Every structure is written in structure tokens, then in C-alpha cells.
Amino acid sequence: MAGDPDADAATTPTAESLFDLTGAVAVITGGARGIGQAAARALGRHGASLVLFDRLREQLEHTTRELCEAGTTTEFVVGDVRSAADLARLTDVAASLGPVDIVVNSAGVIRRMDIQDMTLEDLDWLWDVNVRGLVAVTQAFLPQMIERRGGKVINLGSLGSVTGLELRTAYATTKGAVTQYTVSLAAEVGRYGICVNAVAPGYVTTDMAGKWINAEPERAAALLARIPLGRFATPADLEGIFAFLGSRASDYITGQVFLVDGGWTAT
């Protein structure tokens, strides 16, 4: 009956239901540590079953064990996003849990160098992992998302997706490509109910970036001076954005790049 308060209450989503991922299956590349691990924790905490993919077997096993002990159904595949054979194994393991609802493309590499020292081989290496590998993983799961008319693709960008990065020109080139792939794919697959977005972190103290960030006190101080929140991020600071973009709370959001940078780009 129109205006029935009981009926309205029954159809109004709660905060808990908006973020409930019970029954969902998520594939996370680079899931062994750092930002990928944070994404796994966030999605698992909200009920998703997980398949983690990474080259780092020992850390991958450790993260999988931690998630299983927390009550999250978790499988892992040791492999490289550049390997077709490894991706085939990934799709097989994911299929054992059910259709994939969420793909988090967190695997990535970085190389810092003066532009005069950069070679095309450096660019090729970065491109193969950060762009070609990301696209290959997405392509592996898109058909089932299209068939089921829904899904979430979350790509990992960077400050380098939207601004220049000294000593990281080749890296930023690949992350700029991730942005364009994200918005273009969103435009193409939106008609199937698939949402495609990117998370672009600022300076995060991961295993890959933390040592460089803190290696020189003067550089660390200069970076901090640019961040309005006055601190570097930890991987845990990104858990919320992954929970949001993986859940129905973001069902009308696609083609966006979410900067999680402590305000870096606001200054």
C-alpha cells in the first residue's frame, strides 16, 4: 500500500545490507601483502569468499591462513599476471568457489630512475605487469560478468594516474593507462550492469614503497609537508574504499578514479 511505513522500511537498505558481500566471490591479484592484502581483508570481513593471486608463495600462504582463521573462505594461486598458464589456473580455482563477482587488480611493480637512464626495456617490464597483466586478468572474468549482467572491477591506479611523478615517468605512464582503461571499460560494459572503478593511492607505507618513502629523512619530511593529513597512509587506510567499491553501496558509480591521498592533490 502506498505510504505504508512498514513496506517502506522493508525496502530501505540498511548500512549493513549495503555492504553485505555474503555469497560473493572476489579475485584479488597482488593479494599476498600491502594494498592487495588490505583489499582481501576488507572484502572478506564483509562476507566475500576470496581467491588470492600472487608470485610470493610464502606471504600468500601466510595471508591465506590469516584470512581462513578469521572465518573467510580463501583459496590462493601462486602465479604471474603475465602468464597465460597461471591465469588459466586462477580461473579454474575461482570457478570452484562459484561465479566471480569482484575482480581487484592490485598486482603491480615500480621502478624509480632518472629519465635519462630509462630504457624501453624498463617501460616494457612495467607495462607488461601494470597494464597488460591487469587487462589479461580482467578479460579472463569479464565474460561471466557479462553473462550474469553484473560485477565489480576495481583497478589499482596511483597518484601517477593523475599527476606527474619525478623519477617515475615510466611507472606513471602505465598508471595513466590504467585510468584510461578504467573509464573506457566502464563506458563499454555499463550496459551489462558492470561497474569499473580505480583506486589511486598516495604515499602508502607498503613493503614495496615504504623503504623508499622513509629512506631519506629530508625526502620523507618534504612529502609529509605536502599531505594535509600530515601522515603517510597504511594499507589499512584503503580498506574502506575497497569495501565500498566491491559492495552494492556503489552500484551507481562507475568510471571513476578515487584518490586516497591524504589530500595531496588538494594542495
**Nearest alpha carbon to residue 199 among 150, 245, 248, 140:** 245
- In 10 A of CB 212, how many CB atoms? 14
Are 241 and 261 contacting, i.e. CB atoms less than 8 angstroms apart?
A: no
Residue 171 bears catalytic tag = yes
Cβ–Cβ under 8 Å, residues 122 and 111: yes
| Residue 155 CB coordination number (10 Å) | 27
The x, y and z cell numbers of residue 230, run together, are 600530515
Residues in the chain: 267
Angle between the N-to-C axes of helices 57-69 and 34-45, in degrees from 0 to 180, rounded to the nearest 10: 20
Catalytic residue among 171, 181, 192, 203: 171
Which residues are known to be catalytic? 171
